[in-house]
Structure 1
Amino acid sequence: METLHIVLLALIQGITEFLPISSSGHLLLPKALLGWPDQGLAFDVAVHVGTLTAIVLYFRDDLWQMTRDWSRQVVARAPATENSRLAWLLILATLPAAVCGLVFDGFIEEHLRSTLVIALTTLIFGIALGWADWRGGRARTIADITWKAALLIGLAQALALIPGTSRSGITITAALLLGFTRTDSARFSFLMSVPVIALSGGYKALQLVMQQEPAPWMELLIGAALAGVSAFVVVHYFMQYISRLGMMPFAVYRLILGGVLLLIAL
C-alpha cells in the first residue's frame, strides 16, 4: 500500500469507528471515487487493534473495575456489585452480535457488501438516529439498565453486521429509544464495543493466519497507531460534547453521505 493510502484509510477507520456515521460508508469512498484497491485483511486487523486499544485505554478504569468485581463474583463468590452487574449486562448484550456474526458472516460477505446496501442502510439508520434523539426521554442512566434493555440494545447491535448500519449508531439509537441519556447511551455503546471489536478482530486475525500471507509490518504498525490515536481523540471529544451537541448533526451528515453513496451506486 502507498503511504497516502495507509494514512488516509487508518484515519478514516479511527475517526468513524465510534461516531454514529458508518465507517463502512466512509471506507467505500476512496475506493469508489479514487479507484484505490481494497486495503486487505491484514490492514483491517491492524486498524481494529488500534481502535480497540484506544477504547480500552479511554475506559480503562471502568473496564478494570468491572473485570475485578466480575472475577471476584465468579471465582470467589463475592457479592454482586454495580460493576459486576454491568459486566454481566455487557456479556448479555454481546451475545446476539456474536451468534449472528458466526451464522450469517458468509451471507453478509457475499450479498450485503454492495455500495447500494451501504447507501440505503446509511440513510435509513440515519433517519432512525435523528428520530430517536428527538423522541427519546433522556432520563435513564447507565445504572438503570436492566437485562431486558441490555438484550434489546444487543439485538440492535447485531443489525450492525449489515454494512452501513454503524455499530455505535444503532446501539445509541436503541438506547435513546429506551429513554437513556445521550451520554450514557454513548457510554454503554462504547463499552459494548470492546468485546465486539475483540471478537471481530480475533476472527479476522484467525483468517489471516490461515491465509499465511507475509505481513507488511511497518504498514500495519503505522495503520494501527494512526487509527488508535484518532479514535481516542474522537471518543474523548464525543463524550465531552454529546449531551449538548445531540445526535441530529450526525443524522443529517448520514443523510448527505447516504445520498452521495446512492449516486455512486446508481
Structure 2
Amino acid sequence: MPDSTISNSPLPGLYIVATPIGNLGDISARAASVLARADLIAAEDTRVTAKLLSHLGLRVPMTPYHDHSDERTRAALVAQMADKVVVLVSDAGTPLISDPGYKLVRDARAAGRLVITLPGPCAAIAAITLSGLPSDRFLFAGFLPSKAKARADTIAEFAGLRASLVFYESGPRLGASLAALAGGLGNRDAAVAREITKLYEECVTGPLAELAARYAEATPKGEIVIVVAPPADGVAEEADDATIDTALRAALAEQPVAKAAKEVAKRFGRDRHDLYARALTLKGGE
C-alpha cells in the first residue's frame, strides 16, 4: 500500500500526529506535511495547537477534542473521516499517551475508517533515554492519584514488577509523589526529568529518598517525568509497617490471604506467618 501521508493528496481517514513536547523544531517533515493537508484538526486545546500552526505558517480549521468530549462529538468526527483528512493532536507529544484519543481511534476502526499514526516526540520515552536507568523493560503509569491512600495503593500494585516505572507529574505534587514512591518501593535509583527539549532541560538522578528530600520544598516548573529503577535482584525491599500494610491490602484485593501474605513476605524479606496473621486482621477489618 502506498504511503498516503507524504503524497499531495492524503487519503481520507484519521491521522494520529505526534507534535513537539517543547522544541518546535522537533516537528517532523511528515507531520508538517499532513497538518498542511488536513481538512480538520481535532486538538486537545486549540489555543496550544494554534501556536504550532503559526510556527509552520499554516491555517487549518480546528475543533476541540479532549477528555470531556462526548460520544456525539466522536460520532461527528468519525463521519467526517469518510471523505476528509482528520488529524488528531494533543497539546504536546504523542496523542493517547496520558492524553485523550483512544475512544476516537476505537470508533474510527469500528466504522471502517483509515487510521494512520505518525510517530514522533514522547516525554516518557525521552525521559527513559535521559535517565540512564534500565530501559529493556518498562511500565508507563501516567499520573499517580492525588490522594495519599489511593497513591500508596497504586504504588503497591507496581512494587513487585521487574521493570523500570515511568510516571508523569506536576511541580507542586513532585515532592509528595517522590516520598510516596520511596515509602512504597524502597530507596531505588530514580531520575526526575523536566523541561525536556526546552532551554532549561535537566535530568536529576539519585536514590528516591534523596530526590524526595531535594524536592520537598523546592517546587520545580515545567512538565516532569519520574523514572524509577526496577527492584534489585535478590535484594529484599526495606519498608515500615505502614508500607507493609499497604502492600498487603493491594495483594488481598487480588489474591487469597495465604498467597497475598507469601508474596508480600518474599518481597520485603518478612516472616510469612507474621504477615499471614496481619493479613487476616486487615481482611477482618474491611
Instruction: Give me the TM-score of the superposition, normalised by structure 1.
Output: 0.25
Please say which structure displays the higher CA radius of gyration. Answer: 2
Comparing both structures, which one devotes a greater share of its residues to helix? 1
Comparing both structures, which one devotes a greater share of its residues to strand? 2
